[in-house]
């Protein structure tokens, strides 16, 4: 029986090539796209789940409040909270503490700037299930001035040498003995490091208060809970502990801190706070993609159902004959399911080919690095099996049910041709397909408009033609002088117009988050948090920041070491409405007093997702973060200029690697994720619409062939070609227009929600909808016309004769 | 073999019953060759469909080999049908996607006959109908007469006791028609009971009995 089913299914597939192609190709695209997306989503969801203890590890995250208002949310919270919690609660089995840092690491002649440097305590490696390649993970970071390297770092500094017991230096200021080498952190951990320095060294350098203070933020604390501990309960206990310890001070000074326990696997997709170890993933984008995957595969399944039921009249005769030959209904259902199985199998094979061919392109567009190794993962096959089984049954069952229901005598007498079996269902499914298409298309359009908006908005600072050189880390007492000489020499290089030193440049989060700042004489409860950027005398000019009131820092004013500039957002936070009001006011800043000598315009320090931040500019003429060098417009000369700058840098700051970037790239980097999301989104939206149109093509071809006789009669009666086109098109237009109508409010709502992620965003206007909808309409009409035009222009004599 | 008692069939048109068959009593014995005749719309095909269990009567009792068909469930009826009845159609009704061989084989598949046995049976009948050379062709590659031959071969493959034919020669030319009728006669002589619906007096003469239908009633008995 199976052989018979197989044969007839196969011959049907071959006989109706167009339908089969549409079905198989559409399904293959759906399966391939879904598999790729599922794989990507699976990777995103796999973050930090590989650790043996991942379900018991929690990060202590800190929310700081001022006057009952949330001021800063820290991923890396107060220094002392870890030890305090560990000591107070026996359910905490172990505590890992990390302090991010960076610096120039050197071994012999090799020196590199390391950005992924952490001070870590000895519990970290065992808690996160690292094993040692060399040495032992236990006790490796117990002592002062010890360090652990990853395999890559070990190779970088030591080549084939055994790194154990060798000494590396950090910023030529401290030496560390290598006690262990561990494998590189996997790609799917949020906590990636290249070198770990013992936390004990940090305590030795900065004093024992690191272990107790709660006024110094920027320390990661991970706790391993004993099995069976309820994290919610512990969270409450920590809150109670905080209250008993500091409630008097909090009441007096109007501050508060609330600690949350973040489950380790949740961090990657949900945590976006101050001092994250790396920029975490976007949970919403991941789920958006998942929805798109569902859309595409759903649209392909709908195609199958639509085409199969539309063709039921062709298949009805066979059904009738089989019934008269003794087939039971379930046997027919099995037969049609078998056909669906065969089509799905062919689609899966084609999907494999598509994945093989398209994987590099997908990686390029989505900025991912999925490899063919994904074929070796169990999850891939589970997904495939689910898609295959679900698809076969879901798409096959309804047509099988309909086809097997025909009564043999009515079918064989040809009575069925007049029925409109499933027409309503088909139209409803077309409506759903096009609703999805509208959502995706308008979505794509909006994502791109928003991206374009963010990239072309005036940032409030001049960022073009700016070469940024990372400041030296290996310093000595002559640094002031060296910097001043470096500046003089660089300004002499042809094509360099300005040089400015600062602690930060635009395009990144400001690390210096200062609390406790208030007007002199104001109550301590009036304190607020500000982001502080240290700049030199030339920064304002170099970056084109405009003064709204007052003046820039000046060499002439010796008192300017006690002067600050505020931006608009900062004076607002201080309680002033106009820049003038704030001038010459004095503020308390960590035990010293500063005078506001100028107010500057707001600028976008970070991506336009973020609102304007309250910035204080402090005069730090020898700021060692970055040197911003403004270049001439003529980019041909830049290579030479950079070479000259490097020469000077090497001369004045030996033992420091010369690392640089262009500021525009740095700023664009912030939008990389958005851009990749946009590209991925549009790719799959395009595929979804393509598959929808494939289905429409099939339906149009079918309906047109059904109505050939009617068209012939109408033409004989004198109907012109256009009126026939209208006749044939009208039936398709109705569901599509209905889809537009239904999809618009849903899309409006969804996109409105999405845009809320951006502090600076484009308004939702009808124009965002009209363009994409018109485009879909045109594509749909063209699709239909390819089928109807032939029928409308055909010679009626022919079509009538064949009947 | 067939015993119809007070069989009526009607459909509702505009709320009123429109009788297709009314009070038909008919007995057909094993080995008979019966021709049903009558003008268009007299209910010939409906009667045949009821006998062939493709359709239900609205009223009345139908005994087939002593079994009360009117009160059997679909599965039992199908079982009975598969085992004893073969059907031949005016429009042949072969499955276009299957070859001659596969078309003939299909009923055996539904009777759960083993593959090797099926092969032997199909080869046998192909040989008997002298269409071995055509076994790999598709229906559209055959003439009308050849297609009907295949249709009959398919109807006979399950060795039915009863062969039902609805205008089996309606789409054929007279020479082809005669051949089919001769074949029927031969089958009947071999013991197959045949009931055919026909318009042709000549074809009806091949049978042992003629039943005339008029407006859903049996007109007279031979």
Domain boundary assignment for chain B = 2-94+159-218
Give yes or no: residues A257 and A404 share one domain. no
pLDDT at A119 over 70: yes
CATH fold for the domain made of B2-94+159-218: Rossmann fold (3.40.50)
B177 versus A199: the higher-pLDDT residue is A199
A1 versus B131: the higher-pLDDT residue is B131
pLDDT at A415 over 60: no
Who among A4, A331, A408 is closest to B54 (CB)? A408
Give yes or no: residues A78 and A216 share one domain. yes
Any CB–CB contact under 8 A between B199 and chain A? Answer: no
Give yes or no: residues A187 and A262 share one domain. yes
Give yes or no: residues A103 and A235 share one domain. yes
Domain span at residue A290?
1-46+280-421
State mean pLDDT over A621-644.
89
Burial A333-372 (b: 16+ CB within 10 A, else e): bbbbbbbbbbbbebbbebbbebbeebbeebeebbebebee
A378 versus B146: the higher-pLDDT residue is B146
**In the structure encoding, which two tokens stand for residue A744, read together?**
């618009």
Rg (CA), chain A: 34
Q: CA A777 to CA A781: how far, in whole Å?
A: 6
Which residue, among A506, A519, A578, has the nearest Cα to A548 in the 3D structure? A578
For residue B222, the model assigns a pLDDT of 46
**In the structure encoding, which two tokens stand for residue A782, read together?**
């063209």
Who among A11, A331, A408 is closest to B97 (CB)? A11
In a domain, A234, yes or no: yes
* pLDDT, tens only, A583-595: 999 999 888 999 9
Degrees to nearest 5, angle at CA A601 with A507 and A274: 40
In a domain, A409, yes or no: yes
Judging contacts by C-beta atoms under 8 Å, the chain B residues touching residue A1 are: 109-110
**How many domains are contained in chain A?**
2
A326/B107 touch (CB, cutoff 8 Å), yes or no: yes
Judging contacts by C-beta atoms under 8 Å, the chain B residues touching residue A327 are: 110
* pLDDT, tens only, A25-48: 999 999 998 888 888 888 888 899
Judging contacts by C-beta atoms under 8 Å, the chain A residues touching residue B78 are: 326, 328
Which of A321, A405, A416 is the best mutation test for B, with the most CBs of B within 10 A?
A321
For residue A748, the model assigns a pLDDT of 93
For residue A583, the model assigns a pLDDT of 93
In a domain, A452, yes or no: no
State mean pLDDT over A515-538.
88
Closest residue in A to B55 (Cα–Cα): A409
3-class SS of residue A434: helix
B97/A318 touch (CB, cutoff 8 Å), yes or no: yes
State mean pLDDT over A294-323.
83
Of the candidates A244, A270, A296, which is a domain's last residue? A270
**Least confident among A332-346, A363-377, A623-637, A654-668:** A363-377
Closest residue in A to B114 (Cα–Cα): A1
In a domain, A380, yes or no: yes
CB A146 within 8 A of CB A201: yes
* pLDDT, tens only, A65-106: 887 888 889 999 999 999 999 999 999 999 999 999 989 999
How far does the CA of residue A746 sit from the closest CA of chain B (Å)? 46
Who among B74, B82, B109 is closest to A4 (CB)? B109
For residue A418, the model assigns a pLDDT of 45
In a domain, A772, yes or no: no
* pLDDT, tens only, A252-299: 888 899 999 999 999 999 998 888 988 888 888 888 888 888 888 988
CB A747 within 8 A of CB A439: yes
In a domain, A144, yes or no: yes
For residue A803, the model assigns a pLDDT of 37
B109/A1 touch (CB, cutoff 8 Å), yes or no: yes
Q: What is the length of chain A?
A: 803
How far does the CA of residue B118 sit from the closest CA of chain A (Å)? 11
Closest residue in A to B164 (Cα–Cα): A324
**In the structure encoding, which two tokens stand for residue B57, read together?**
């009567």
pLDDT at A414 over 80: no
Q: CA A722 to CA A792: how far, in whole Å?
A: 8
Any CB–CB contact under 8 A between A410 and chain B? Answer: no
3-class SS of residue A346: helix
SS (H, E, C) B21-76: EEEEEEEECCCCEEEEECCCCCCHHHHHHHHCCCCCCCEEEEEECCEEHHHCCHHH
Provide the mean pLDDT of chain A. 88
For residue A776, the model assigns a pLDDT of 87
Contacts of B173 (CB under 8 A, 6+ apart): B144, B145
B111/A326 touch (CB, cutoff 8 Å), yes or no: yes
CB A473 within 8 A of CB A503: no
Give yes or no: residues A365 and A396 share one domain. yes
ipTM above 0.85? no
Helix (H) or strand (E) holding B6: strand B2-13
CB B169 within 8 A of CB B176: yes
SS (H, E, C) A81-148: HHHHHHHHCCCEEEEEEEEEEEEEEEECCEEEEEEEEEEECCCHHHHCCCCCCEECCCCCCCCCCEEE
Q: How far is CA A606 from each of CA A82, A542, A760, B35, B196, rounded to the nearest angstrom?
A: 30, 18, 11, 94, 89
Judging contacts by C-beta atoms under 8 Å, the chain B residues touching residue A331 are: 110
How far does the CA of residue B22 sit from the closest CA of chain A (Å)? 20
Alpha helices, DSSP H, located in chain B = 44-51, 74-84, 100-110, 115-128, 144-156, 174-189, 201-205
3-class SS of residue A784: helix
Beta strands in A121-265 (DSSP E): 134-135, 146-150, 167-170, 174-182, 195-198, 217-225, 255-263
Place of tokens 């006989």: A15
Which residue, among B106, B98, B96, has the nearest Cα to A326 in the 3D structure? B106
B93/A321 touch (CB, cutoff 8 Å), yes or no: yes
For residue B64, the model assigns a pLDDT of 93
Q: Quick one: pLDDT band at residue A696, thresholds 50, 70, 90?
A: confident
In a domain, A497, yes or no: no
B98/A327 touch (CB, cutoff 8 Å), yes or no: no
For residue A123, the model assigns a pLDDT of 95
CB A29 within 8 A of CB A354: yes
How far does the CA of residue A321 sit from the closest CA of chain B (Å)? 6
Chain B 26-85, CB below 8 Å of chain A: which residues? 49, 52, 54-55, 74-75, 78, 81-82
Contacts of A360 (CB under 8 A, 6+ apart): none
Contacts of A592 (CB under 8 A, 6+ apart): A562
Per-residue pLDDT of chain B (222 residues; tens, 9 = 90+): 899 999 999 888 878 888 889 899 999 999 999 999 988 888 888 899 899 888 888 999 999 998 999 888 878 888 888 889 998 988 888 888 889 998 998 888 888 888 899 999 999 999 988 899 999 999 989 998 899 999 999 998 988 999 999 889 888 888 888 988 999 999 999 999 999 999 888 899 998 999 999 888 887 654
* pLDDT, tens only, A122-155: 999 999 999 999 999 999 999 999 999 999 999 9
Q: How far is CA B119 from the centre of its chain?
A: 24
In a domain, A751, yes or no: no
CB A416 within 8 A of CB A316: yes
* pLDDT, tens only, A202-238: 999 999 999 999 988 999 999 999 999 999 999 999 9
B154/A1 touch (CB, cutoff 8 Å), yes or no: no
Give yes or no: residues A143 and A104 share one domain. yes
Judging contacts by C-beta atoms under 8 Å, the chain B residues touching residue A318 are: 95-97
pLDDT at A733 over 50: yes
Closest residue in A to B77 (Cα–Cα): A326
Closest residue in B to A414 (Cα–Cα): B91
**In the structure encoding, which two tokens stand for residue A153, read together?**
């770092």
How far does the CA of residue B174 sit from the closest CA of chain A (Å)? 24
* Bridge partners, A106 (sequence order): A111, A169
pLDDT at A656 over 80: yes
User: Whole-model pTM?
Assistant: 0.79
Q: CA A35 to CA A349: how far, in whole Å?
A: 13
Q: How far is CA A669 from each of CA A102, A662, A675, rounded to the nearest angstrom?
A: 20, 11, 10
Q: Quick one: pLDDT band at residue A798, thresholds 50, 70, 90?
A: low
pLDDT at A780 over 50: yes
pLDDT at A799 over 70: no
Q: How far is CA A600 from the centre of its chain?
A: 33
């Amino acid at each position: 029986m199976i052989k018979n089913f197989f044969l007839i299914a196969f011959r049907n597939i071959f006989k109706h090539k167009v339908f089969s192609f549409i079905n198989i190709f559409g399904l293959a695209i759906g399966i391939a796209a879904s598999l790729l997306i599922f794989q990507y989503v699976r990777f995103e969801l796999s973050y930090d789940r590989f650790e043996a203890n991942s379900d018991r590890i929690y990060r202590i995250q800190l929310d700081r409040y001022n006057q009952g208002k949330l001021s800063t949310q820290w991923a890396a919270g107060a220094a002392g909270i870890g030890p305090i919690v560990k000591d107070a609660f026996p359910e905490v089995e172990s505590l890992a503490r990390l302090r991010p840092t960076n610096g120039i690491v050197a071994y012999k002649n090799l020196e590199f700037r390391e950005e992924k440097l952490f001070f870590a305590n000895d519990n970290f490696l065992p808690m996160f299930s690292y094993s040692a390649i060399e040495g032992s993970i236990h006790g490796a970071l117990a002592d002062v001035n010890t360090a652990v390297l990853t395999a890559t770092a070990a190779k970088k500094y030591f080549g084939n040498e055994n790194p154990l017991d060798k000494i590396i230096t950090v910023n030529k200021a401290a030496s560390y003995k290598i006690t262990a080498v561990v494998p590189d952190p996997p790609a799917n951990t949020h906590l990636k490091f290249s070198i770990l320095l013992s936390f004990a060294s940090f305590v030795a350098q900065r004093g024992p208060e690191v272990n107790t203070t709660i006024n110094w933020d920027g320390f990661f604390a991970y706790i391993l809970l004993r099995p069976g501990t309820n994290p919610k309960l512990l969270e409450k206990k920590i809150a109670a502990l905080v209250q008993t310890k500091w409630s008097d001070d909090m009441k007096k000074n109007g501050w508060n801190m609330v600690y949350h326990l973040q489950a380790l696997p949740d961090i990657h997709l949900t945590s976006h706070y101050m001092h994250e170890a790396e920029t975490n993933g976007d949970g919403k984008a991941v789920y958006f993609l998942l929805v798109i995957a569902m859309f595409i595969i759903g649209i392909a399944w709908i195609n199958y159902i639509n085409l199969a039921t539309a063709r039921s009249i062709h298949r009805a005769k066979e059904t009738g004959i089989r019934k008269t030959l003794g087939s039971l209904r379930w046997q027919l259902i099995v037969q049609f399911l078998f056909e669906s199985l065969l089509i799905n199998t062919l689609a899966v094979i084609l999907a494999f080919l598509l994945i093989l061919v398209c994987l590099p392109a997908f990686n390029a567009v989505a900025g991912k690095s999925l490899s063919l190794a994904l074929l070796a993962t169990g999850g891939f096959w589970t997904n495939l099996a689910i898609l295959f089984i679900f698809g076969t049954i879901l798409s096959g069952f309804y047509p099988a049910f309909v086809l097997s229901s025909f009564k043999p005598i009515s079918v064989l007498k040809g009575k069925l041709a007049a029925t409109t079996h499933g027409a309503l269902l088909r139209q409803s499914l077309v409506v759903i397909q096009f609703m999805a298409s509208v959502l995706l298309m308008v979505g794509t359009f909006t994502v791109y408009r928003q991206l374009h908006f963010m990239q072309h908005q005036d940032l409030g600072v001049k960022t073009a033609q700016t070469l940024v050189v990372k400041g030296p880390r290996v310093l000595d007492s002559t640094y002031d002088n060296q910097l001043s000489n470096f500046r003089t020499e660089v300004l002499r290089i042809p094509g360099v117009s300005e040089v400015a030193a600062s602690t930060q440049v635009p395009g990144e989060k400001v690390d210096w988050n200062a609390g406790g700042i208030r007007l002199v004489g104001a109550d301590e409860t009036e304190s607020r948090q500000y982001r502080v950027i240290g700049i030199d005398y030339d920064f304002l000019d170099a970056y084109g920041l405009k003064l709204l009131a007052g003046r820039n820092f000046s060499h002439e004013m010796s008192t300017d070491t006690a002067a600050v500039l505020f931006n608009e957002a900062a004076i607002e936070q201080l309680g002033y409405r106009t820049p003038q009001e704030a001038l010459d006011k004095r503020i308390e800043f960590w035990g010293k007093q500063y005078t506001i000598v100028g107010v500057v315009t707001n600028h976008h320090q970070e991506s336009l997702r973020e609102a304007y931040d309250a910035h204080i500019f402090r005069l730090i003429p020898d700021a060692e973060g970055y040197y911003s060098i403004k270049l001439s417009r003529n980019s041909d000369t830049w290579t030479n200029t950079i070479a000259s700058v490097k020469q000077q840098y090497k001369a004045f700051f030996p033992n420091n690697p010369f690392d640089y970037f262009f500021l525009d790239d740095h700023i664009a980097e912030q939008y990389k994720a958005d851009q990749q999301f946009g590209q991925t989104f549009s790719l799959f939206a395009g595929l979804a619409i393509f598959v929808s149109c494939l289905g429409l093509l099939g339906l149009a071809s079918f309906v047109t062939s059904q109505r050939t006789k009617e068209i012939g009669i109408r033409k004989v009666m004198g109907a012109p070609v256009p009126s026939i086109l209208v006749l044939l098109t009208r039936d398709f237009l109705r569901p599509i227009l209905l889809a537009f109508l239904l999809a618009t409010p849903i899309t409006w709502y969804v996109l409105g929600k999405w845009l809320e992620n951006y502090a600076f965003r484009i308004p939702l206007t009808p124009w965002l909808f009209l363009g994409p909808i018109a485009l879909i309409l045109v594509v749909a009409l063209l699709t239909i016309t390819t089928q109807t035009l032939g029928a409308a222009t055909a010679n009626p004599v022919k079509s009538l004769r064949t009947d | 073999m067939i015993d119809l008692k007070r069989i009526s069939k009607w459909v509702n048109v505009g709320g009123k019953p429109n009788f297709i068959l009314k009070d038909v009593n008919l007995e057909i014995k094993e080995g008979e060759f019966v021709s049903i005749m009558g003008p268009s719309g007299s209910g010939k095909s409906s009667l045949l469909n009821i006998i062939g269990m493709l359709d239900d009567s609205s009223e009345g009792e139908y005994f087939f080999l002593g079994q009360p068909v009117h009160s059997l469930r679909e599965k039992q009826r199908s079982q009975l049908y598969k085992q004893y009845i073969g059907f031949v159609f005016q429009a042949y009704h072969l499955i276009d996607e299957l070859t001659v061989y596969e078309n003939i084989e299909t009923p055996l598949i539904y009777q759960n006959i083993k593959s090797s046995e099926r092969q032997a049976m199909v080869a046998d009948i192909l040989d008997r109908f002298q269409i071995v050379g055509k076994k790999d062709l598709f229906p559209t590659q055959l003439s009308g007469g050849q297609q009907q031959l295949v249709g009959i071969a398919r109807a006979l493959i399950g060795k039915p006791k009863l062969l039902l034919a609805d205008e089996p020669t309606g789409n054929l030319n007279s020479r082809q028609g005669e051949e089919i009728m001769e074949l029927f006669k031969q089958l009947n002589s071999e013991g197959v009971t045949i009931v055919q619906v026909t318009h042709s007096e000549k074809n009806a003469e091949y049978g042992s009995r003629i039943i005339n239908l008029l407006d859903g009633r049996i007109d007279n008995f031979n």
